[in-house]
Structure 1
Amino acid sequence: MSVTKPTIVIIHGGWHVPESYEKLIMALEDAGYEVHCPRLPSTNQTRPPNADLYSDSDLIRYYVSSLVRAGRSVVALMHSYGGQVGTNALHGLSVSSRAAQGLRGGVSHLVYLTAYAVPEGTAMMDKVAEFGHNDLVPIAFDIDPEDKTCLNRNPKMLLVGESDVPEAEVDEYLGTLVRWNGNGMYQPSKHAAWREIPVSYIYTTADMTIPIDYQKNFVEGMEKAGRSVRTFELATGHCPNLTATQGVVAAINDIVSQV
């Protein structure tokens, strides 16, 4: 008897757009998954910005809700800033909470891919301040002082890092990145979906954007709050969707086999 695989919804990171995940999307589709990657409004490049963390959260909640109302089981794969969005957006959509209401479908798993996983009332920059790294922000990010839109100053080093990916492929990837509304980094999450939905975390040990110490701190925080977190580890930088694609797919296969 064949088992229907869950639908994967990729919640992308800052500066990224769905095209940035084409390599991972194709690999997941080759593995038999239906994959969705909606574009977050905060990457629409409007200046001054007209979308932020809460706009992104609304879009993701609406998008995933439409899937689960159709009876789909959804795995949310959240990358970087996408973790803040998914954490804030997906509360109340778990398979168990919907089943308790006699409803089909739901979010069966949250997978944080070197992503922010913080409690309610916490902004991404709160974690940066906790680690004493505020002085590094202007070094890493080119933030407009007026509208707070931003670019990564050295995405080849800070996002991709060292890898075996051909130079032309890296350049094509970097070409997908856009100016993003950095205000989202300063806005606190209102909800914490990881409190009610099963969680896994994929560490990236060579990450120069969300260091491994941050990543482990997120997991420790969830565990201290009583959540069990399965962890995986990839020896790569901040964008394993490009540099360790098959490792991400293997982790997803392992997670899905346990759901």
Structure 2
Amino acid sequence: MSNPVFVLLHGAWHSPKCWNRLIAQLEKSGHSAVAPALPSSGYNPPLPDWSKDVEIIRNTVTDLVQEHHVIVVTHSFSGMTGGTALEGLDKETCKSKGLKGGVVRLVYIIAFLVPERFQHSPQGTRDNMVPEMITDLDANSVTVRPEDAKAMFYQDIEDDAVAELAKDLRPQSLGAFWSTTTFAAWRYIPTTYVLCTGDKPSTVTAAQYLVDSGKASGPHKIDNLIKVDSGHSPFISNPEWTAQTLIDEAGREFQV
């Protein structure tokens, strides 16, 4: 059995570029990774909802499972879109359709692990958004200022590096925060949650709550919780550790 392919889904305000360090480490270990660009981040004009994200995630994974086993890695915001995009793409369902592959594991890196019918913010509001999320209702966008980037995303990264990373941040479509999930893939696909304890304390508390609530909400396949002393973006601050963790989690399904 060949190694599974990692599909890496970036969070809000980011681009696939944020995965570059991790991809280099995975490839060094003989693994393949795909990092699609999710249009709700940086699209101009901003999008009314997250449907384009869901479409790209679903199309990317659907193409891969024709021949490959897949591990989907979500970060932060993309836990919502990744979780809702994978209906019918689990290994068992793919096998029943005669496909060679399927999604065999999800890895949520400090991501939104949420149930069906979850909405981050009510339509037309900025409810549940932290002060660092600068909203423009007229422009349908949410931005993060460069001076807030370290506290939001890069707590354990040197200031000079943070300044460079902040240059790649882009506006996020506000409508994406008003969208509603329709599926919870973690109920059907084995799931690992990576809890980054060096993130903002409020984010750590919220993430633990989401995991606990998910487990208590009914059927689920959340079978591993990994706590790491890292900020919000361990794939940037410690790509070696992140790559090895992903490879180890893949090894829970296969010998890789």
Report the TM-score, using the length of structure 2 for normalisation: 0.89
Instruction: Name the CA distance, whole Å, in 1 between partners of 2:201 and 2:94.
Output: 36
Matched, 1:18 2:16: yes
Matched, 1:158 2:155: no
Letter aligned with residue 58 of structure 2? R
Tell me the residue number matched to 1:231.
225
Q: Give the one of 70, 74, 78 matched to 1:74.
A: 70
- 1:31 positional shift: 2.0
Structure having the larger proportion of residues in helix? 1
Matched, 1:194 2:186: yes
Letter aligned with residue 114 of structure 2? V
Instruction: Name the CA distance, whole Å, in 2 between partners of 1:46 and 1:108.
Output: 34
Instruction: Name the CA distance, whole Å, in 1 between partners of 2:252 and 2:130.
Output: 42
Alignment map for 1:52-131 (pairs within 5 Å)? 52-69=49-66, 71-125=67-121
Instruction: Name the CA distance, whole Å, in 2 between partners of 1:55 and 1:258.
Output: 32
SS at structure 2 position matched to 1:117:
coil
Instruction: Name the CA distance, whole Å, in 1 between partners of 2:230 and 2:177.
Output: 23
Instruction: Describe the shift of the 1:231–1:194 C-alpha distance in structure 2 as closer, same or farther (beyond 3 A).
Output: same
Q: 2:13 touches 2:42 (CA, 8 Å); kept in 1?
A: no
Instruction: Name the CA distance, whole Å, in 2 between partners of 1:63 and 1:255.
Output: 21
Let me know the Cα RMSD of the aligned residues.
Answer: 2.1
Instruction: Describe the shift of the 1:228–1:192 C-alpha distance in structure 2 as closer, same or farther (beyond 3 A).
Output: closer
**Large movers: runs of 4+ above 6 Å:** none
Q: Give the one of 165, 188, 193 matched to 1:173.
A: 165
- 1:36 positional shift: 0.5
Letter aligned with residue 219 of structure 1? V
- 1:138 positional shift: 5.5
Equivalences, count = 247
Instruction: Name the CA distance, whole Å, in 1 between partners of 2:202 and 2:171.
Output: 19
Q: 1:84 touches 1:124 (CA, 8 Å); kept in 2?
A: no
- 1:173 positional shift: 1.7
- 1:24 positional shift: 1.3
Tell me the residue number matched to 1:246.
240
Tell me the residue number matched to 1:144.
136
Q: Where does the alignment leave 5 or more consecutive residues of structure 2 unmatched?
A: none
- 1:160 positional shift: 0.6
Letter aligned with residue 141 of structure 1? M
Instruction: Name the CA distance, whole Å, in 2 between partners of 1:109 and 1:204.
Output: 19
Tell me the residue number matched to 1:36.
34
